[in-house]
Structure 1
Amino acid sequence: MTIAFLRATHVAPDPRVEKEVNSVLTEHPDILILGWDRDGDLARDEVLTFPNGRARIIRSGIKSSYGASLGTLLGMALFQLFLLRQLWKHRKDLTAIHASDLGTALSGLIMARILRVPLVYDIYDYFVDSFSVPRTVAPLIERIDTFVINRADVVIIVGENRESQLAKARPKRLVVIHNSPPNTDVQAVRDADYRKRFVYVGILSEGRLISELLELFSRRPDWHLDIGGFGALEGKARQFAADYDSITFHGRLPYAETLKLEAAADCLLAVYDPAVPNHKFSSPNKFYEALMLGLPIIVAKDTGVDELVSNHKVGAVCDYSAASFEATAGRLFADADELTEIQLRARTLFKSTFSWDIMEERLLSIYRSIL
């Protein structure tokens, strides 16, 4: 019997989808992933291999951007038809639907009701706080989101601080599953380079200090930035890497390669703009990866994750500016004894509170209770 994971991205890579699928495979070996390749350059139908098994992924090839435009709305509408058609096609085998964003949740709910199977709504990001939604339609979108939340059998959020975003909803059951990486023994491969190495792998878009940091690292030959991912600023990152020896662009990386790159770093960074509403509730993968790897992380003030960093003393907090980041990083690396303590605190905190073993058990307990 099949569990369908739905995601409105290409899942190439998508760390949260991949680790959740891998965990569920331990008890449910038949998983179907439905995704959306908006660039149209990936396989439409293939089998992905995970440590715990394999899962088939079928991708829609509807061309679309990630921005707010008429073309995006048309693409989203066609993607809903794709989801409905694929779920109906596989209806005889489906035992549960796991929707990973609002772009898949409504279609997931419709088919869950038609097929009489449970729906798990995994809210990676609360839509109206995360994306550039016109004010005229934001209330409607939030009502749709609330409608799905109230009717899903289980709702998952990525941090306790996200519960306040659901104030207008009444979920039947709410579970927190943090963005922790799977427990991995990553061996750091570090060359003899004397420079302090910083790593950022993620979405390359405005609101994450990307442009400002590229400018900063271009004039800091004593520092080095390894940057990877995809998004609107991908071309800019590639150009800076071509022009400056202090920046290396890695493009899209498999998750295992991301962890390997991070393990060789001196510091990770996740500096998000607090003016973006959803950033006040950020739970970036990089925070949990830093804990597992025993690395300090620099985050922006008033972005949710800054409280975790400050309270547990596992990194540093800066204002949302390149100047503040530069000063904060300088102070961080000036205290060698504190860096050693950060490494110890980070690993201890990860094992006791945020390890994927803990999160995996929460996820599996959901499926044990609804199937």
Structure 2
Amino acid sequence: MRIIFVRSNPVDPDSRVEKEVNSLVEAGYKVEILAWDRSSKYRIKESYVKLESGDVKIYRLGIPASYGGGMRKNLWPLVQFQMRVFSWLIKNKQRYDVIHACDFDTAFISNKVAKQLKKKFVYDIFDYYVDAFGVPNKLKSYVINQDHEIINGADAVIICTDKRREQIKGTSPKYLAVIHNTPAYQEDGFQKLDLNPDKTKLVYVGILGNGRFIKEIVEIVKRNPQYEFHVGGFGEYEDYLEAVANKYSNIYFYGKLPYHKTLELENSCDIMTAIYDPKVPNHYYSAPNKFYEGLMLGKPLIMAENTGMDATIAKYRIGEVIEYNMVNLEAAIEKLVERKFEWGNISTKMKNLYKEKYSWDEMELRLINLYKYL
């Protein structure tokens, strides 16, 4: 069975896409990726994504657009992307049997092509579109209706937590799988970088933009020399972070990192943050990568109330849950430093939780079973 993954980012990196593709290739499927590069303008570029299971061919469409701009800022680029995806899928119909579309912004057009060409169609919902992105109010009911139609018509649907069943309430998927976005465990562990053992090291690697308390952490670390902030990723704050890292000796900016380097950096630090604005409806249902990475690596987590997995953090006392403000954030860091004597027990508890409930081995099995069903 040949599969084409369709994603509205360049997959450079995209941990969930890469994990799913890697698992499917290992299971014997032939997989390729069609992706959107928003950083420059070109027709199409072919290259390879290097995965443990081998090199996977990727076709990138170069259409300039902003990250995090939502539908309001990116409407015309999004329309162009839809047209280019449609064209590629039609022209290359002999290359695939299944279209695996990630989120509504690829599922909308992919679903139409799948119906037209009688291909199998998998709808992988990373984020529920109207709750996660800047959809204009006038378009919201249309997007919801279209989204529900796609969910009901798909051969299989994937969501990333059980809680997300609430978001797709009113739909009747033919086959529904819950696949948590958890990292794959490595038997030989992850390397540790040579960082200062005398400092409390906070770490965040991901999208560098508003609503994630990145600038707030910078402000706290600037006035507390006993802390270090290790930050990586890409987005609108890149220039800002590069500037503050050059100015302050306890702030380190790594830029965009491949996923294994992200895990190495997180494994070398002490406290992880997964802080999102609870006012954004999608964050209530979110399952941040950082949560699962923290569990696997055994690193205490700081999260905001009413966002994703905060109840798990509170229930197992494996970090701190805060009100979404800077005062609470600073107090939470201090509390975790005071609980340093507990870090060993917290680490063991988190790693056990990962193995028992969220391991990628289990998620991989769910994905393979879905494709066996197809």
Q: After TM superposition, is the score higher than 0.5?
A: yes
Alignment-derived partner of residue 211 in structure 1: 215
Q: Percent identity?
A: 39
Which segment is superposed worse, 10-19 or 184-193? 184-193
* 2:290 partner amino acid: K
Aligned residue number for residue 160 of structure 1:
162
C-alpha contact (below 8 Å) 1:217/1:247 kept by paired residues: yes
Q: Which amino acid aligns with 1:64?
A: A
SS of the aligned residue for 2:123 comes to: strand
- Does residue 290 (structure 1) correspond to residue 294 (structure 2)? The answer is yes
The within-5 A match list for 1:169-208 is 169-184=171-186, 185-208=189-212
Matching residue of 2:34: 34
Alpha-carbon distance in 1 for matches of 2:105, 2:93:
20
**What is the CA–CA distance in structure 1 between the aligned matches of 2:71 and 2:21, rounded to whole Å?**
32
TM-superposed CA distance for 1:28, in Å, is 3.2
CA deviation string 1:102-123 (max 9, x = no partner): 1100111111112212111111
Alignment partners' CA distance in 2, 1:71 and 1:13 = 23
Deviation of 1:189 (Å): 2.6
Helix, strand or coil at the partner of 1:166: coil
Amino acid at match of 1:3: I
> What's the secondary structure of 1:25's corresponding residue?
helix
Q: Structure 2: how far apart are the matches of 1:246 and 1:131? A: 34
Corresponding residue number in structure 1 for 2:13? 13
Cα distance in 2 for partners of 1:25, 1:348 equals 28
Q: How does 1:215-226 map to 2 (within 5 A)?
A: 215-226=219-230
Deviates more, 1:61-70 or 1:127-136: 61-70
Partner-residue secondary structure (3-state), 1:98: strand
Q: Secondary structure at 1:125's aligned position in 2?
A: coil
Aligned AA (1:28): G
Q: Is the 8 A contact 2:288 2:308 kept in 1?
A: no
1:289 offset after TM fit, Å?
A: 0.7
The one of 323, 326, 332 aligned to 1:328: 332
Residue-by-residue CA offset, 1:9-59 (whole Å, 9 max, x unaligned) = 011011101111000101234211000001128982102221112211001
- Calculate the TM-score normalised by the size of structure 2: 0.95
Number of residue-to-residue matches in the alignment: 370
Question: Aligned-pair distance for 1:187?
Answer: 2.2
8 Å CA contact 2:179–2:367 kept in 1: the answer is: yes
Q: Which runs of 5+ in 2 are unaligned?
A: none
Conserved 8 A contact 2:72-2:134: no
Whole-Å Cα distance in 2 between the matches of residues 70 and 329 of structure 1? 36
Q: TM-score, normalised by structure 1?
A: 0.96
Aligned equivalent of 2:128: 126
Task: Report the CA distance between 1:91 and its aligned residue.
Answer: 1.0
Residues 32-71 of structure 1 mapped to structure 2, 5 A cutoff: 32-40=32-40, 44-66=45-67, 67-68=69-70
CA distance in 2, matches of 1:78, 1:198: 40
Aligned counterpart, 1:23: 23
Contact 2:71–2:135 under 8 Å retained in 1: no
Asked whether the 8 Å contact 1:313–1:345 carries over to 2, the reply is: no
Partner of 2:97: 95
Question: SS at the partner of 1:9?
Answer: coil
- Correspondence for 1:356 among 351, 357, 360: 360
Runs of 4+ in 1 over 4 A off after TM superposition: 68-71
Would the aligned equivalents of 1:29 and 1:53 in 2 still touch at CA under 8 Å? no
* Cα contact 2:45–2:61 (8 A) shared by 1: yes
Paired amino acid for 2:199: R
Matched ranges for 1:109-148 at <5 A: 109-148=111-150
CA contact (8 A) 2:272 2:301 kept: yes
Q: CA RMSD in A?
A: 1.6
